[in-house]
Chains A and B, each alone.
Chain A
Amino acid sequence: MTARAIRPPARWLALGVVAAMAGAIALELVREARYPRDTVAEAVLYFPPGRAVTRLALSYDALLADVYWIRALQHFGSTRLKKDLGEKTYALLDPLLTITTTLDPQFNVAYRFGAIFLSEAPPGGPGRPDQAIALLQRGLEAKPGHWRYMQDIGFVYYWWLGDYRKAAEWFNRGADQPGAPWWMRSLAANTLAQGGDRRASRALWQSLAQTPDNDWLQRDARRRLQQLDALDAIDELNARVRRYREAGGGQPFTWEALVRAGLLRETPQDPTGTPYELGPYSGEVTVSPESSLTPMPTEPPRIAPQP
């Protein structure tokens, strides 16, 4: 028998490869369905937070930092999309960001975005401004004198903790750094004078919207400004609903009632073009759950007026 005669036909070999691969994939699917594993928890287990991480990474620490950055983004995004509120714990966000910034201490965006993610109130985020501040302070250890991190720390104190004295302190500290813009000083002054006032909040977000650091930061700041515009509009709409009731119209169940009464020209829409909702029983105006502005922020408490 010649060697050619005993060689199996190529199509049988190809079929064998396809069959074996299909079988392997089928078994993998069955295993995933029967014994699901928490993939993100596994991802964290690859490396414990700490300096040892950089040693284990040899000279590939920057690339590993990118991998952990993407994991942090995926964890934040996927947790945010979960329907079950009990699952929205964001428990791995801080460890993932810590690993990212330990691997690459110069990873500017990981500090800045990370702080935004960490301080975002539930259910949109873990509501951990303390961790956000700690992250930014680690950024300052890596880049001492980086006024943007100081601005961000001041911002967390202002917006999420309502501690205007601390916020102003950080804005002032940022203003003292070489290259800091002139408006940092007025930001500090405004914060002390009108903390919690919507105008002061708007000035704060406008300063972030002008940041050239990143498109994403600018987009987020613009969205926050739209939310503030929506809050202004809601105040105005609530006033018109009250006027309707005081004029003897009773509880308006729909916007049409206010349009017919001449209090509105048309169904009011938020800055994204989604109609506002009018609570049929409470009469309270809110942003629609369908709007991209949802969830709306809880405004920080207003500073007590000076006597």
Chain B
Amino acid sequence: MVADRALRAAQRIEGELVTGSLPLSGDFGRDIKQLLASFPFVGKDLVVGLEGEDVLVESLVVPPSASKSAKAVCAERLKGDPVFNESNAALGVAVADSPSGSGPSMVIHAAVIHSKIAQVMTACRGSQLNVHAVESAALAAWRAWTSEGLRIRLVRTDAADIVLAGIDERLLFCRIVQRPISSLELRATMSRAASLLSTETFSELTCSGIAGDELQKLAADLGVSVSSSEESLVDASAVGLATNGAILTEFTPPEERNLRAKRQVRRVRMLMAAATIVLVLTAGVLGWQHKSNLETKHGSLQNQVEVSQQAERELSNLRQDLIREQNHFAQMAGVRPGHKMSLLFSVIANASPDNLLLETTKVSDSVSTNKTASDADAASQRQLDVELHGLAGGDGAVRSFADGLLATGAFVDVRIEASQRVILANGQGGERFHIHATAETR
């Protein structure tokens, strides 16, 4: 809070009230920095309250029948004022309905010199402080503590005494008088407040910054109950500024409002960006995990598919091998002779008697001409045609040879195709023969 001669501040930190005060040296910026450095205040946000010669606060009523608005009425009142005229001062107006509901509107208007506001704002910017609001410190004193019902308070500050009246949290009357206020003036002020608030009188006065004999004297002079506020409440205006609540008349410059809005936007943006980053990171981590799981599964399935494909290729190869082997098997079964030529040769040799000479022997292996077999059998049925030409000595040797061949069981047919009597070299009679034998085979 900025007063005429001092710079005062208050902050609630974790329920504890921290206050600080420094006399003004003339360099406002340096004073602020020194204040912040000298006391354990936290943060850069503040509400500035102004009091002293540069601030005017008045209470009045505007009847419902008034042709002008409350703000116009207040502006009209200040027109022509050498200090707080329209060009020199900013005007703030707070309008409240009458407590009775049907009476005139209660108006508190405050005016602050433009140059004072500019000076304070420049100093705050120089100290990189975020000004949330600029208001009259006197009006902020109402927020210093809470009470219920119709109440009137007397707040003593370094600069002046302030009489405040209101209902519950609503401040409806304010008057700043030079300290120390006389009992007479206080009584008159209380009467005026009572009339404005549509009540006969106040039964109790709560004081802040006044104690001891003075408090008792006031009680005796006024004839009402006078009590003191909390002991810790040494600077009601500073504490009120540090307390959240409705600001009746705000003097924050438009550029500061813009800056505040920008800061708010920046803060919201930062919060949104941080939230988005957290969400994106969370989604990214979860997505990455999901993707990793899917990749693992995909790889596993790919391996399975490769193994299956390899097995399929192997199956195909095996099937080809199987078909080839089956073909070979069938081919071998089909072409393997059903006889042994050496055995046939032995059979013929063994069957020929000593007095028989085989001059020519011819064996032909050919497809069977047997028409009785079925077509399928005929294709694989073969026969051996054996042509035997030779000479035999003695009678019946050829017949005996032919019978012998037949008796072996190797031939299905043995025929003597030709037989001719001849004289052999030894002068004995003999026989030239031609035997045709047929053996079945496959």
Physical interaction between A and B: no
Residues in B lying within 8 Å of A, measured CB to CB: none
